[in-house]
Amino acid sequence: MIFRLFYLVDCSDPMTNSCGLMSACRFLQKPIFPFVAHSNDFAVNGRLAVGDEEREWVMSTLGKLGSGFWEVWGPSTTVEVNQLCIVIQHVCDFTIVVESHVQGRWMPRTFTEIIDQRNFVQHSLMSLQTKQELVDSHSAIDEPLYECCRLAVIVYSFLIIFPLPPVEGPFEALAAQLQADWIATGLDRPTESRFRILLWILVMGAIAAIGLPERPWFLSQIRALSWQMGIGDWEETKDVLQSFLWLPSASDLDGQDLWIEMLSDWCLGVPRDA
């Protein structure tokens, strides 16, 4: 069962609904209103107000959070991917806030500032352009991973940043869209330099697809890619995931279940390309 941090903040609070964020998440649409902050200190110089001490605290449990994205894209990339990377940095920062809360560490911020930080991150993510919107606007899309990565970050956000219960979360749509874009983009024939980020994307898809028809497809892709990467156990997989977006206290159980399910398939002789 996917662990969600409902106790951190209530996604039904009026501050969230005032900008249409809940509806945007439920229906995978852009927020209809601009983000409005209710505090002055939730961000500093364009980034969430997260202190250096907090960042040092979480290194032992979160690892090099987000570093895998920068290794894939670096500083020189397209405008669209750069916008995605900025949002991913916000997601990393709020993951630190969540981890500090989980570990019971005192944080020098008010409840209102936490809500503002969460809403700002989610509003920024849901405001990113889809691949189809970029195509319709005749923008050049030079990065084949853009849409799959955007969808995978949304999956992560619904688990950690802006938790939605299964009956309200659009996990069915996310799993189906992720699978369709993966196939359409030809990501089943990846280059070795993209193996790690593709593994993270697939794991996010597999978690979104728990109990759904798309789940076996995601597991087969993870199985094949893990074999290509020489990954032999869950800890090696987790090491890859933590270099992108992963909160162990929330998702390790889902990841372990995924690995056990894959091992069961191996024992049953399911082909790697099934």
162 has pLDDT over 70: yes
pLDDT tens string 39-88: 888 988 888 988 888 888 888 889 889 999 999 998 767 889 999 999 99
Helices in the chain by DSSP H: which ranges?
Answer: 14-17, 21-26, 52-62, 67-73, 79-102, 111-126, 131-136, 146-156, 171-185, 195-208, 215-229, 234-241, 248-267
C-alpha radius of gyration, the chain, whole number: 18
pTM (two decimals): 0.90
Tokens, residue 6: 């409902």
Q: Kindly state the average pLDDT of the residues 105-116.
A: 84
Q: What is the structure's pLDDT at 109?
A: 83
Cα separation of 42 and 44, whole Å? 7
Tokens, residue 184: 């359409």
For 74, counting Cβ atoms within 10 Å of its Cβ (0-12 exposed, 13-18 middle, 19+ buried), the class is exposed
The rounded Cα 232 to chain-centroid distance in angstroms is 24
Tokens, residue 23: 């509806």
**Is 4 or 240 the better-scoring residue by pLDDT?**
240
State the average pLDDT for the chain. 86
